Structure 1
């Protein structure tokens, strides 16, 4: 390849990599898998090595991530958050070990720390005097997006460190979502007519980039911390000691899965074992990070332009395979949502035989141009159903068939419609057997009415025998009817009947969630139960009364009002009551001098801890919110208040200092007007 050809190919690669970086980092909507991206990036690096003049400041090789989004304040990192070199086979790792020894001019065995390469979102947490003050994404490595309030909502991120923590500590970590939580989130989004997240990493990224931190708070995010930036005070001698120190300060580290290895052979053995256990982990990983364990040696080795010399990521082989879509079947959910699932010609993907893959919705089908009979690339992520990531259109014969949007339900033949703003069509027949089946599964689930022993197979039998037509019928089942079902002996029958009876007095929040009210998940069910206290009060709540709640928008308010206005639903609730179902009253928010008032706290508080301040408001009947809106009455601003203070000033919200907030509480406690 001559220089002209190399320059042309380099321009093509730069444009393609920049585009995929934007899709991945900015829009959370990747079009290619990691393996394909790594191949393109490797080709770019090889070109720049052969033709150094192509290595310009605008090359993707100079960038670690992507620039911050405009909607967030930019936060500069004191020390760059670098990317890692990739290794794809054992020889790459041996070459890495040899480079380390050459640079250090030593033949001694190097000790390495081996960590899981979490497939999530890299963040930095800055603690001053043990308090979390700033949180940001990695961004372009030099600066990231300021997402402090969103990170504060993650339970595994401490707001305060232990008393012996240093006065300044910059912590690096990976925010992620476990596979089971990811699957549940996508199921909820699917039922709500929203687009599915492509994978747990994208779900975590999308959750962290919410302007409203209340949305982030409802997402099941977690973090593992793996390193530091600046640190005031003595540093540990090794990386493994550093992780232990972080743990003692109160930060979450994955110490159980972090191993030390004496030499590269042990590193390779740890990697081989991890590759075998990959699918047993509750979260998604895409490789193993290997670091020189001795921190003094890390400093001696230093860094290159975009990567440290002392660390490397040994990537897992791609979990992809090529197969054929034999058919596309339609599944109907409890709200009538119809979703397409590809029936695959069975194929092995990283040791597991897969025969179906998710297509999510018709927008996704159109984007990929999927047809029955197509040869496709499928990718598997842990226990989550595989995805079709690419259609091999060049292999089409012309006999492939497109899948039209259904006009009738595939189960009951009832009418189907697709509402504006939704990505899925819905069966409009509330008596559809498929909707009933999925509704029953939801109603008896552990997080809802928790009827242990009433699994899918038993539910199917009850439906086939005509014993259950709605939720209330579950409470009318007799011992004789259950004993007549297959695989139901006396012991399992008695146990199931006891579980059904115990479910009659579940908390109101769980009962509301179990009913499957559109757009009402676990979090909103708890909020409604706390606000209204009883089912009767909620059932008579008006649209405006619901909208007055901070986290209830027009869609939720409409869904709740419509549910209780529906004659079929009112009859169902009456039958449940007649059957003895008495949901326990929620702890209704008591009235008080701050009833109807919404407070937001921002910045670093000196007088109160944030949770304490929020409890002071809620104890007086008010509401503590995480975001500023037109419904906010007061913003209490501590030190270094940022965008929320600007937003409050824009909206004319009353801004209080901590001292003024303290004085306000004193006045209302003395019976004075506020």
Structure 2
């Protein structure tokens, strides 16, 4: 469908949700940001509608258009919502207006709409360009793009080059008006795997190029509305088949319950179809007379779209984390959004270098998708705000594998990461003690080293506000039981750059001796080369590490200690 549909969709956003998302901008800055985005949208409109070129994907354009309208409601509510800027030449009125379809959010909304209705059917929501076909006395006299729903571009000349559009139909009395979707034929297209593949943009390019495009021969036509046509679905499908427009009959299924709709939606999302889709549409008959149709008033058809593969998110803040090894990473705090079935609030960028290359700051609009295992992933910066305020990142030179074994100013993040690491199941397995627990303990113990907690007992356990005595007792019990962990785990808790295969290859005697090993001894272990061996020597000879080694319970206990009675 043409980009006008976003105008209808944005009108449905409630005022409360908009005000809750207004940026904290001064009036001057708000006008600057809105003007910059409006100018860019106008440039994209010109490229799309005059030249048939899409410099930006439809979903991303729609999202940015909606964002601009949100800003206008926040800072200039008297202004009308922006509409896509169509060219003023070549406009032709639709004999019957395009109403659009209301988008339903979920199965509950579908069930509510279907309640008490009969004779419903479902079709794939074909991803293409909405058009009107006009026949007089059986002869094709018009092909009109959707445009604003009342008038669109006259594509009648192009229609002669599209084999899927019949030049004649066997209905010679009066005028016949059909509405449908021009789509790109994509054999064996699986939406769940291939997504939309910008099929709509390709169709738009072919229709708006001045020269004839070879892509026109690959276009199909899916009729989804017949204003003032036959009153039953069976009659409509039979008549369309007689016209040579039988594509729709293959993809029209009767439905009686929301479960029926959900089943077809899931099936068409995964099965091979001859076109790209972005959901399903549920229809009912009879419809109101065509003379009463108006843009945005479509109540006889509703859409249930597929979860978007990506979504537009606003960056609220740029955060910097220092990890256990001293590596500085960047995380974007986002205005919360739902992607598939996940609530996304943050997305990791990785290194400082990537953050600088992406050039992203608070206020920017970014596209986010879900990678493997449902992990949020930043795909692209879709729009950058005009006023750019860059936060100051930590000095990466201050942090490394041998920094922050003590809680000192500037070391809180790395020190906490070290404690969280040694708590994990694969290391000391301090069950029930996580980052939040350590943060509370750190707040009450301004001077700590990595193993300070080994000295705590019932009388010396820190006083932590808000921590019950029962909780304190459980934490203390877990900490004290950790003393029985084998030496191999304590060495791992220090966080040396030691491969797991090398650590597992050492026996107890080697574990006790290795802190004093030279490079030559390290080279005997699997997975360790000259460079890593040198790093391990430097690690275990570092004063902070040697101090911590002296605290490890397994190193304090004598080897093969005799029984008490011997």
**Same fold at TM > 0.5:** no
TM-score of the pair, normalised by structure 1: 0.38
Greater Rg, structure 1 or structure 2?
Answer: 2
TM-score of the pair, normalised by structure 2: 0.44
Taking CA–CA contacts closer than 8 Å with sequence separation of 6 or more, which of the two structures ends up with the larger relative contact order?
Answer: 2
